[in-house]
Structures are given as C-alpha cells and as structure tokens.
Amino acid sequence: MNIGIVGLGLIGGCLGLDLRAQGLSVFGVGRREDTCLRAMELGVVDTASVDLALMSQADLIFVCTPLGAIRSTVAQMIPHLKPDAIVTDVGSVKASVVESVSPLWPHFVAGHPMAGKAESGIEVAERGLFVDKPYVITPTEHTSAAAVEQVANVARLLQARIYQCGPEEHDRAVAWISHLPVMISSSLIGSCLSEPDHHVLQLAQNLASTGFKDTSRVGGGNPELGLMMATYNRDELLRSLLVYRGQLDRVIGYIEDKNWQDLELFLQQNSAERPKFL
C-alpha cells in the first residue's frame, strides 16, 4: 500500500517517519519546495512535491494540514486520486470536518491521532509519537466499513490505541480533556503575569517548578492550534468553559466562607477520580 501525506508538518512528518519504518512507501505533498526537500532529507517521505498530482500514487492519504485547510485540500486533490483511494485527515476537531469533507469524496474516513508536541513543523517530527496514544476514528452511518478498517490497520502499525465514536461525541469529549485544558493553562499563565509587583512576579518565575511546569505545559503550546480548537469546536469549548467557571466559583465560595470541610471533600473527590482519565 502506498501512503500519501499532504501537509508535511509535525503530524504529517511523524506519520511519514513511522510508516516508512514499517516498509510502506510514502509520498508527501508540502506547500513549499524547501519543506519538500527537508522532508526527503529527514526520511519522512520517499518522494515529495508541491504538486497534488503526486497523490495519484497513493492508496491511503492522510491530510495533515491545519483544520482550516482540510476541505480545500481535499477538493483540490480529488481530480488526481485513484477512484478507490481512501482519504483520511488528522484534524483535532471532527464534526465540522466530517460535514464539509464527506460530501466531496465517497471514501473519506475522519480520524484524530491524539498525540502532539509543544512545537510544530517538520523539524520536530520524531518516530514513535503515536505509540500507545489514542487514535480516534469518527465514521458516520455512510462511511464504508472497509475504509474504516484500512485506516484502523494503519493506525495499528503506529501502535496506537484505536477508538471509534461519532464526530460530535469526539468533539464533546476532546473539549473536556484537550481544548478546555489549553484555555485553562493559558489563563493560568496570564493570571500569574497580572501580578503588579515586578519583584514578586520575578520571584514567582524563579520559583516555578514541576507543578507549574505540568499545569502550564499545554498553555505554552502552538497558539495557532488553540485558536483552531476555539474556532472549530466553539460550542463544546464554550460549554466546558462555563462549567469550569462554575467549578471555580464553587472553590471561591468555599474559601470565602472558610468552608474547609466542603473544600476538602471537593479536592478529595476530584483527586480520587483523576486516575480514570489517565
């Protein structure tokens, strides 16, 4: 099977490295000549081009562009595809992608490998990023089971843990555990920066250690991704943010009222539930 990758950045690069290591031939399309050259130098692809016609070689194509470019990329690619080529994407939000891309190509299977890094671009691509990480496939009632199986088979080569769910369920779930944390983490950094005493702020920056490193990590990631999450998963993200604000208000209320008993219960209950998420 020949693999196509359109969008030679972090995720496209990581897919290429792993799938080539599995003996598959990988054809890549990038936006710029220098990215294509670099992809070949790094061993991410066997061949790369800025011309989508290269996708005529591929049996299964991963669209790894930013969310906003997935639909137009698929539309431009269609004239070049083999009639039975399977197209999948890796976008972090699924309902809008499924709605806009499914009508374009009969063998489209939406997917989301849930692994990432703080940095973006092909230079930071590495092998094994998807090992033991969730790979969510979000078929609809119209998606062919055989095409889903092909995407799942490739995800298995990446040693990912495969899940299937509806696109809307996916978006609601990832709002809680991926998109909400980005906004909270960024707000945490913003809150610290609002300290008016420069000396205290500097002290806090010097004292910040593992706790701050853990809680601020996703807020320190690629801002473009956070913006995409908010743009394309707006309703679910807003819903989760409002619930979060309610939780903060509860905590504030406990502390204002010196209600240490309920605060302790709140902390105990949430601490006990955490392992279920990890």
Which residue ranges make up the site for ligand NAP (CB under 6 A)?
A: 7-12, 30-32, 35, 64-67, 69, 73, 90-92, 113, 116, 120-121, 225, 228
Q: How far apart are CA 142 and CA 166, in angstroms?
A: 12
Residue 271 Cβ vs ligand NAP, minimum distance, rounded to whole Å: 27
Q: Which C-beta is closer to ligand NAP: that of 4 or that of 12?
A: 12
The conformation of residue 129, written as its DSSP 8-state character, comes to T
Work out how close the CB of 31 gets to ligand NAP at its nearest, in angstroms, rounded to a whole number: 4
Packing angle, helices 198-207 and 180-193, rounded to 10: 130
Q: For residues 188 and 128, what is the distance between their CA atoms, to the nearest angstrom?
A: 31
- In the complex, least distance from residue 141 CB atom to ligand NAP, rounded to whole angstroms: 24
Contact 48, 27 (CB under 8 A): yes
d(CA 211, CA 205): 12
Given the complex with ligand NAP, which of 215 and 259 has the nearer CB atom? 215
Nearer to ligand NAP, 12 or 254 (CB): 12
Least separation in angstroms between CB 70 and ligand NAP: 6
Q: What does DSSP say about strands 134-137 and 111-113: parallel, antiparallel, or unpaired?
A: antiparallel
Rounded Cα–Cα distance for residues 171 and 179 (Å): 9
Cα gap 137→181, rounded to integer Å: 22
Q: Pick the closest to residue 60 from 94, 10, 26 (CA basis).
A: 26
Q: Which is nearer to ligand NAP, 92 or 96 (CB)?
A: 92
Residue 151 and residue 42 in contact, taking contact as beta carbons nearer than 8 Å: no
Q: Which is nearer to ligand NAP, 150 or 233 (CB)?
A: 233
Helix pair 234-256, 260-273: axis angle to 10 deg: 140
Closest CB to ligand NAP belongs to which residue?
9
- Closest by CA to 175, choosing from 240, 219, 227, is 240
User: Which of 111/254 has CB closer to ligand NAP?
Assistant: 111
Smallest gap, in angstroms, from Cβ of residue 258 to ligand NAP? 41
Q: Rounded to the nearest whole angstrom, what is the least distance from the CB of residue 209 to ligand NAP in the complex?
A: 25
Rank residues 148 and 228 by Cβ distance to ligand NAP and give the closer one. Answer: 228
CB of residue 88 vs ligand NAP: minimum separation in angstroms?
12
